């Protein structure tokens, strides 16, 4: 399905221009947390609002969608959240080794066909990129409604030496203090779909 172009997209992106970070020309903070695929930004704007002492970068490859996230951040006058428009695979090289303390992957596209497995954000190809940019002890918080993607991810994190914690196949039944719902999470939860969640830590032993 083609996404409808949102009205006056370029003007709206320009108005939020100060929130962009261009990793080609601007050094990234050396301690930060990132969300890959922030969508319309409910999760990352609320997370940044609750944690003013943490630097956040949200990465999203669709301009129609990132503009909504950026407008939310502008309205909330957040000074600790910036945005990168692009595919993480293309911008990862700009992140210095070990600069990221936490990566959020929320409802990442499942790419259900085996032929597209390499595009999943929890494929080993991406886990290699995360290992490089994560600090020792750095962590990945992953939520999804998609049981198959979750089981695939449990295997790839384990194969790549991550330590798994707080694994649940039903986040809302088990409870998580301070959980911040994403747009997709609200939608699937209303439909009665259980949400899977895990935390994957890079131990000092991972190379
Ligand atoms: C299913 S949506 C989920 C959006 C949001 N995280 C949520 O939970 O409501 C996945 C989002 O990730 C973005 N995305 C997928 N792969 C990406 C990549 N490699 N780099 C940046 N964004 C990506 C998509 O454009 C889409 O907006």
pLDDT tens, residue order, the chain (207 aa): 445 566 799 999 999 989 999 988 898 988 999 999 999 999 999 999 999 999 999 999 999 999 999 999 999 999 999 999 999 999 999 999 999 999 999 999 999 999 999 999 999 999 999 999 999 999 999 999 999 999 999 999 999 999 999 999 999 999 999 999 999 999 999 999 999 999 999 986 555
Measured in Å, residue 58 CA sits from the centre of ligand 1 at 10
**Order of strands across the sheet with 163-168?**
81-85, 56-60, 32-36, 100-106, 134-144, 196-201, 163-168
Protein residues whose CB sits closer than 6 Å to any atom of ligand 1: 36-39, 59-62, 65, 87-89, 106-109, 121, 182-185
Residues noted as catalytic: 109
* pTM, entire model: 0.95
Q: Check if CATH label 3.40.190.10 holds for domain 23-201.
A: no
Q: What b/e sequence results for 60-81 when a residue is b if at least 16 CB atoms lie within 10 Å of its CB, and e otherwise?
A: bbebebbbbbbbbbeeeebebb
Measured in Å, residue 130 CA sits from the centre of ligand 1 at 16
CA dist list (Å): 113 to 3, 37, 127: 22, 20, 19
Going by alpha carbons, the residue nearest to atom 18 of ligand 1 is 87
* The ligand 1 atom nearest the CA atom of 126: 19
């Amino acid at each position: 399905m083609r996404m409808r172009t949102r009205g006056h997209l370029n003007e709206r992106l320009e108005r939020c221009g100060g929130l962009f970070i261009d990793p080609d020309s601007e050094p990234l903070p050396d301690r930060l947390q990132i969300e890959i695929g922030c969508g319309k930004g409910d999760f990352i704007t609320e997370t940044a609002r609750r944690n003013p002492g943490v630097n956040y970068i949200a990465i999203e490859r669709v301009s129609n969608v990132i503009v909504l996230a950026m407008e939310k951040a502008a309205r909330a006058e957040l000074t600790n959240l910036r945005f990168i428009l692009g595919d993480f695979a293309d911008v990862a090289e700009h992140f210095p080794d070990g600069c990221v303390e936490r990566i959020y992957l929320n409802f990442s596209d499942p790419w259900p066909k085996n032929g597209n497995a390499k595009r999943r954000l929890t494929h080993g190809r991406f886990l290699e990129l995360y290992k490089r940019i994560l600090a020792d002890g750095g962590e990945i918080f992953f939520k999804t409604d998609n049981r198959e993607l979750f089981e695939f991810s449990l295997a790839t994190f384990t194969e790549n030496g991550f330590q798994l914690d707080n694994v649940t196949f039903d986040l809302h039944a088990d409870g998580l203090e301070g959980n911040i719902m994403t747009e997709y999470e609200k939608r699937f939860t209303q439909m009665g779909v259980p949400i899977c969640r895990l935390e994957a830590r890079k131990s000092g032993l991972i190379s």
